[in-house]
Amino acid sequence: MRKLRIYLDTSVISHLEQDDVQEKMEQTRKVWRILQTGKYEVIISDLVLAEINECKEPKRSLLKDYLAQINYKRVSITEETEEIANEIISEGILNPKSFDDCLHIASAILNDCNIIISWNFKHMVNVDTINGVRKITFAKRYNNIDIYAPYVLLSEKD
């Protein structure tokens, strides 16, 4: 049986070192321990790595150290990724200022992810975005994708 493919957006990785939101940081670290077990197939895009590289030190190095603790597949941003991101905007799901968020969603769609996990409630983890993305995946015959906050990966025993 195939493992669930999970796309991590940058907000998840960033919250591994986010002292100003202690509860989210603790939940993210619990999720990270699950990801370290290999239970899920983890996907990140070149955009995630570029956004991590924009962090100031020492956070940038700490986040890279965390990434070294898990197995993940790195995927590229392609013309097709940009086309789907632009469609997300043209359909009114997100606005042009959120183009990078659209690229994250498009990367997950094109790489057959089952779930996107994100702490970005404003642009990604909300009903309007989720329903809009479902319309696109259905119309283009891509697999459906769910968008959740990281804590949905936690069980009572975590």
CATH superfamily of 5-152: 5'-nuclease (3.40.50.1010)
| 124-151: pLDDT as tens digits | 999 999 999 999 999 999 999 999 999 9
Question: In this prediction, what percent of the chain has a pLDDT beyond 70?
Answer: 98
Pairing state of beta strands 41-45 and 72-75? parallel
Q: Give me the half-sphere count of Cα atoms (radius 13 Å) on the Cβ side of residue 136.
A: 26
| 3-45: pLDDT as tens digits | 999 999 999 999 999 999 999 999 999 999 999 999 999 999 9
Average pLDDT over residues 94-101: 97
pLDDT of residue 2: 86
Q: Indicate the domain borders of the chain.
A: 5-152
Contacts by residues 54-60 (CB-CB < 8 Å, ≥ 24 positions apart): 55/14, 59/14, 59/17
Question: pLDDT grade, residue 85 (50/70/90)?
Answer: very high
Looking at the predicted structure, is the pLDDT value of residue 158 above 60? no
pLDDT of residue 73: 98
Average pLDDT over residues 37-66: 97
pLDDT of residue 141: 95
Question: pLDDT grade, residue 157 (50/70/90)?
Answer: low
Question: pLDDT grade, residue 156 (50/70/90)?
Answer: low
Q: What angle do CA 63, 27, 143 make, to 5 degrees?
A: 80
